[in-house]
Amino acid sequence: MSAALHNDAANQLKALYAEMQPHGLYPLWEVLSALVTPKPRSPAIVHRWTYADARAYLLRAGDLISAEQAERRVLIMENPGLPGSSCATSSLYAGLQLILPGEVAPCHRHAQCALRFVMEGEGAFTAVDGEKAIMRPFDLVLTPGWQWHDHGNTSSKPMIWLDGLDIPTVLHFDASFAEHWPESAHPETVPPGDTSHRYGKNMRPMRGTATDRRPNRQPLFHYPYSEWRQNLDSLVRGSDPDPHFGHALEFVNPADGGAAMPTISAHVRLLPAGFTSRPRAATDGTVFVVAEGRGTARIDGKDIPLHERDTLVVPSWREVVFQAEGDLVLFGYSDRSAQEKLGLFREHRG
């Protein structure tokens, strides 16, 4: 084809694009390679929030707006690669919530699943369907989709936790519903701890009896630090660390033995002092919180220092090496649960 003819075809294509555009029609061949990539190319970037900095801003917000006024007094941890999105990873949200002594965060429910990972404070509660989970540092508390939840701080100290939600996932499916309870707090339905005894001790209520009082598919919502930390300790005593994870335990939903929630998986891992993990990449972009110790995350040759209560986002398919200075205990949550159901999850272990 001569240059003139080639130019002509190119010009005609451009004219075709312009003519088609108002009809909602576009040429796939111009965008195909960006849509179907040979491997994940997340716009999210690696990012770490140091706890001391975030905490200082959050306490300032605490002087200016009440939990009740705000509905939830939360600083969104937005990924700098996803500006304006309120997303930590492409599918998950992260935020830091403050509730001051005497405050109440009003009762509501929504389609989105949420988890809380307690950063500091002791004795405040999240009530799920009217049952209080009294929260201590590094407890994991779930508010599964469409379960009523309110928070209250009856202690004398500020309480701060990380909220992890599947907001971007629900937005993606255009499936958001939410409603408010008519009062600020749900009436107390059962004493604190009731659910743990029914569903959290490797037993469950007999089906179809009055004992079985929680929603069938998501009964358990409190995974205390005192329990999961002890389990990690037992692993350390009894076995060698996995070369990629260290000593790792996933939180499970006792109703089906699967991930903690339908869209969110959560786990903890302990990397013994001096341990360096083998490199690993996975399709589930992950939000990590340092529960204990110090170390580094090496990603693409760059070392990111990790201190207690820092939050780190590792997007999909970024290879990470963790190094532990002292015993390093990490909490992590990701959309692995959703990806596995959709047949999308992959990992690479180097």
Please say which residue, 180 or 278, places its beta carbon nearer to ligand 1HN.
180
Q: What is the dihedral of CA 272, 251, 297, 93, to 10 degrees?
A: -160
For ligand 1HN, the binding residue among 72, 204, 229, 346 (CB under 6 A) is: 72
Residue 249 in 3-state DSSP?
A: strand
For residues 291 to 330, the per-residue mask of contacts with ligand 1HN, x marking binding by CB under 6 A and - elsewhere, is ----------------------------------------
Q: Does the protein bind ligand 1HN through residue 140 (CB under 6 A)?
A: no
Joined tokens for residue 238: 């009894």
Please say which residue, 86 or 189, places its beta carbon nearer to ligand 1HN.
86
Instruction: Report the C-alpha gap between 224 and 300 in whole angstroms.
Output: 34
For ligand 1HN, the binding residue among 42, 46, 95, 166 (CB under 6 A) is: 95
Instruction: Report the C-alpha gap between 285 and 154 in whole angstroms.
Output: 35
Which amino acid is present at 244? H
Instruction: Report the C-alpha gap between 88 and 264 in whole angstroms.
Output: 13
Q: How far is CA 66 from CA 62, 104, 148, 194, 286, in A?
A: 7, 9, 21, 30, 31
Please say which residue, 150 or 327, places its beta carbon nearer to ligand 1HN.
150
- Cα–Cα–Cα angle for 197, 199, 200, rounded to 5 degrees: 70
The answer to whether 254 and 217 have CB atoms below 8 angstroms apart is no
Per this entry, what is the length of the chain? Answer: 350
For ligand 1HN, the binding residue among 75, 92, 100, 114 (CB under 6 A) is: 114
For ligand 1HN, the binding residue among 82, 165, 170, 338 (CB under 6 A) is: 165
For ligand 1HN, the binding residue among 98, 118, 133, 167 (CB under 6 A) is: 167
Instruction: Report the C-alpha gap between 342 and 335 in whole angstroms.
Output: 11
For residues 35 to 64, the per-residue mask of contacts with ligand 1HN, x marking binding by CB under 6 A and - elsewhere, is ------------------------------
For ligand 1HN, the binding residue among 129, 131, 163, 327 (CB under 6 A) is: 163
Task: Summarize as ranges the residues that interact with ligand 1HN (CB under 6 A).
Answer: 72, 74, 95, 97, 105, 112, 114, 149, 151, 163, 165, 167
